[in-house]
Structure 1
Amino acid sequence: MRQYKVYKSTGEKELFVPQSPESWASVPSGAGSVVVTLDDNRSYQQMDGFGASFTDSSAYLMNQVLREEQREEVMRRLFDPQDGIGLSVLRNPMGASDYARTVYSYNDLPAPETDPEMTRFSVAHDEADVIPLTLQALMLNPQLKLFASPWSAPGWMKTGGSMLGGQLKSEYYAAYADYFVKYIQAYAAHGLKVHAVTPQNEALYEPLHYPSMLMLPEAQSDFIKNHLKPAFVKHGMDTKILCYDHNWDRPDYPLTVLEQAGDEVDGVAWHWYGGEASAQTKVYEAVPGKEVHFTEGSGGEWIPPFEQAFSNVMRTGIEILRNYGQSMVLWNMALDEHNGPTVPGFGQSTCRGIVQVNQQTGELTYTLDYYALAHFSKVIRPGAVRIASSSEDEDIRSVAFRNTDGSLAVVLFNDGSVTANVDMNLREEGLLSLKLESKSAVSILISP
């Protein structure tokens, strides 16, 4: 006899609520029902998991502003697979991002000093908040994988002499590769394995009000092929290298890097701030065998009403997974009541964290992104393999996986304007019938 766990969100007042069997087992099926068919004879990518980022701002808020009992609670609810939602991927900035209290790298020097031998490299900044929280997350979830991305090289390596804008000077390609090696070694010394890196966050975006660095595809190919990968090989490192780390609207960039440095590249990292998730499949099919990772997407005040914002994460999350995504990582793990802290001079932030930490009151709030991530992470566990799923109605969006323990994980979202009765089937076997209200989400875990 199959066992079912069902979690449902119907709106702001009902978010990821466990459902008793009586609440859905009696829903009539048949005429008028939408059939969702699962086919585990067709399989696709294997999942690493879901998560967010311990930016400097997030780590500071969670480690220094929250009281100890609050921090223990939120870490458990974020990372514990049993008592929480079991987040299993972190994508942490290497140095300052836009969400940091100061602009810093791991090797800051006053002009005109340089340090190509990396003798003054140090991750001391991260030892205060980022590393302790990452270690605690790993303790709560031993399956955790750590990704890392820089927003900029140290200023002395760049054309403008600053971490704000500019490009990496070609004479410092080797030094920058050593910068990555030192980072991986320093984190290993703290007991943290870096699973994957990208050479540059949002390599085609060069804002001048927070750390950034323009890195054109030809430059990234050269850096990876002739410097970064050889440095990893030299030091016996198996850390994966993902290229691009930017929006869906420029698949030509990763295609260029994969053409020029494909043997040294393990996969592609994507963001959702432009284009469509189908770009992931386009590149995957053009260069088969390369991993597909979604490494940043933030919700925020530009999608103000709750329903639209929650629906966006559910709808887009399903599309990410249906387009070969092996990870789905949102942005800041925590922000404050002003959507910060941000680097000095940033201006008004509109991003939303997974949780909110009010710096004035100390109040901890779980945002809609926490519950949207829960719909995926709680049932789709690391190592799960996606199986085919299809719906008779395009408004009933679906994605399905088989976990390593044999259980089936299914996420459904009703993107339509009316309630639907849904019948879910596997190989001619009726699995479950349920009612799905407009703009509601349901996650289902079915025992073998």
Structure 2
Amino acid sequence: MKMGRLMKLCGVFTVLGAGLAACADTAEDSDAKQQAAQTWITMPDKSKLLEQGGDIQGIPADENSGETNAIAIDPTKTYQQIDGFGASLTDSSAWLIANKLSGEQRAELMIKLFDHDEGIGMSYLRLPVGASDFALSSYTYDDVPAGETDYPLARFSISHDKEYILPVLKQARTLNPDLRIMASPWSAPAWMKTSESLIGGSLKPEAYEVYANYLALFLEAYEAEGIPIDALTPQNEPHHVPDGYPGMRMEAFEQATFIKTHLGPVLEERGLHTKIVIWDHNWDEAYYPLTVLNDPEANRYIAGSAFHGYAGDVASQSQVHDAFPDKAIYFTESSGGEWATDFGGNLKWDMQNLIIGATRNWARTVLKWNLALDEQHGPQNGGCQDCRGIVTVNQQSGEVTLNEEYYAFGHASKFVKSGAYRIASSGMEEGALSHVAFRNPDGAIVLVAFNTAQTEASFDVRLGDQAYPVRLPAGAAATYVWPAFLPTGL
């Protein structure tokens, strides 16, 4: 490495915040440091949980030319930009964090969730607009007595959120200023719906305008609280109308009409820059976002499409991306639960389908469902009875359990920063190794890998002119980080 390039590395923070990297006395010493790959690993038997291992030194790739098993990383070939990894801050999650932990316990948990140095640095949250199936009650921001309406939105208020949701969000943003938020409504206020209830029904055509203004008021109210909303979906799971908690049917033609005639123009007229993201439902109905995007008048207001992972295959994200490559892809929901209790199996599913699968299929965000639930899988509001949060908060003791989703997502969220780009990683496509690579804004290279085989995998990671020999145990997840990679020739 030339001395000019060497000096640019001085003062670069290490990925885990261990302090400022000291400038080496000689170019040779610094080059050796720069070429080392830092490692973290999680084992399926929980013997290691996002545990840092020893650095891996690279050797000139031509000296290792006999190796056939290799992953090649190409930082010059970029794909989508990454907004972040995280979960949903439901009403239940925020209430537990704010009310069932002591100040010290809450501070410790928030650091573990949102701090990059001492935690996993979550950088994206999804926020229900009003109640979901995980809330202490069913509510919206403009509820009126049965039979009444409020078309002027005179009773609109986010006072409910000021008690514990907004304080938790503000604390999270203090720990991670890059934190972004997507808002998703489960239901419009009952008086706007055909069912006259938060449960069931669809949006009345005559309520399109007032609902667009309702959503705009929400965005403005949160902006006034210092919490800007990055993206908004018009409806959570528009093809699922639950009979026990808030929900609302919205067909593709209805979503396109609502966006092009009301929501898009209203946000534009009010100077709101929140992105509009469509669908927000399962992989198995790619025709829905394609239908909405095929409407040219709606298309001009749409930033992208969001997907859930309860049905279908992650490859449908690429189907939508390939049809509309100028529109972003978001992955916004999947939950763990008592239907799947094997740690290693859950780690495998999340790594293959979400952390690696969703990002290799163009996702800018990868989010789980509840950030926190209690020991009884609640508080519940009529929905899933055995869902699992990223963490479990015991209401009696305040004890916090970090679940498998915490470690799976930590393999990406701790190291892949907001604004990173997915970069090319290829090789071992026919093997049992899944992988994805990123380049952070500061130049750090991150490789996330998972060994799906029942035997240890032995392979090289090739980056620049170096080869890094790696052994990854069966069923293990690993992250490899080059904190300030500068390829030869830069």
Shorter-normalised TM-score: what interval?
A: over 0.9
Q: CA RMSD in A?
A: 1.7
Unaligned runs of 5+ in 2: 1-30, 486-490
Q: Structure 1 residue aligned with 2:163, among 115, 122, 128?
A: 128
The within-5 A match list for 1:29-68 is 34-68=69-103
The 1-side partners of 2:85 and 2:128 are apart by 17
Aligned 1:269-280 pairs, distance under 5 A: 269-280=306-317
In structure 2, the partner of 1:15 is 49
1:264 counterpart (278, 301, 309): 301
2:13 is matched with which residue? none
Contact preservation (8 Å) 2:38, 2:56: no
Residues 199 and 243, structure 2, Cα contact 8 Å, conserved in 1 = yes
Q: Which of 378, 382, 389 pairs up with 2:414?
A: 378
Question: Which residue type is aligned with residue 479 of structure 2?
Answer: S
Pairing 1:6–2:39 present: yes
How far apart are the structure 1 equivalents of 2:188 and 2:57? 54
Moved more, 391-400 or 239-248: 391-400
Instruction: Return the alpha-carbon distance in structure 1 between the equivalents of residues 38 and 367 of structure 2.
Output: 24
Aligned partner (choices 265, 283, 287) of residue 248 of structure 1 = 283
Separation in structure 2 between the aligned mates of residue 327 and residue 296 of structure 1, nearest angstrom: 10
In the alignment, the residues of structure 1 paired with residue 260 and residue 206 of structure 2 have an alpha-carbon distance, to the nearest angstrom, of 15
- The aligned runs of 1:293-372 (5 Å cut-off) are 293-317=330-354, 318-343=356-381, 345-346=382-383, 349-372=385-408
Q: Which amino acid aligns with 2:160?
A: H
Deviations 1:180-201 (A, max 9, x none): 1110111111111011100000
Consecutive unaligned residues in structure 1, runs of 5 or more: none
Deviation larger for 311-320 or 13-22: 13-22
Q: Distance in 2 between matches of 1:30 and 1:84?
A: 38
Q: How do 1:398-409 residues align onto structure 2 when only pairs under 5 Å count?
A: 398-409=435-446
- Output aligned runs, 1:36-435, within 5 Å: 36-260=71-295, 261-317=298-354, 318-343=356-381, 345-346=382-383, 349-392=385-428, 393-427=430-464, 429-435=465-471
Distance 1:22 1:289, change over 3 A: closer
1:77 CA displacement: 1.1
SS at 2:146's partner residue?
coil
CA distance in 1, matches of 2:427, 2:373: 37
Indicate conservation of the 8 Å contact 1:29/1:422, yes or no: no
Is the Cα contact below 8 Å between 1:56 and 1:130 reproduced in 2?
yes
CA distance in 1, matches of 2:95, 2:80: 35
Structure 1 distance, partners of 2:444, 2:394, is 39
Task: Output one character per residue of 1:136-166: Cα deviation in whole Å (capped at 9) or x when no partner.
Answer: 1111111111110000001111011111111
More moved, 34-43 vs 324-333: 34-43
What per-residue deviation string (whole Å, max 9, x for no partner) do you get for residues 252-304 of structure 1?
A: 00001101111111100111011111111110110121011111111112222
Counterpart-to-counterpart distance in 1, 2:57 and 2:135 = 45
Q: Secondary structure at the match of 2:265?
A: helix
What is the aligned-residue identity percentage? 43
Give the distance between the partners of 1:311 and 1:376, measured in 2 at CA.
14
Whole-angstrom distance in 1 between the partners of 2:322 and 2:57: 42
**Structure 1 counterpart of 2:14:** none
Partner Cα distance (2:227, 2:189) in 1: 23
- The whole-number CA distance in structure 2 between the counterparts of 1:368 and 1:403 is 25
One-letter amino acid of the structure 2 residue matched with residue 370 of structure 1: Y
* Larger radius of gyration between Structure 1 and Structure 2: 2
Q: 1:24 deviation in Å?
A: 11
| Closer/same/farther in 2, CA of residues 131 and 442 from structure 1, 3 Å limit | same
Amino acid at match of 1:327: T
Question: 1:86 and 1:306 mapped to 2: Cα distance?
Answer: 22
Offset at residue 107 of structure 1 (A): 0.7
TM-score by length of 2: 0.88
Cα distance between partner residues in 2 of 1:435 and 1:350: 36
Give the count of matched residue pairs: 443
Contact 2:58–2:467 (8 Å) recurs in 1 = no
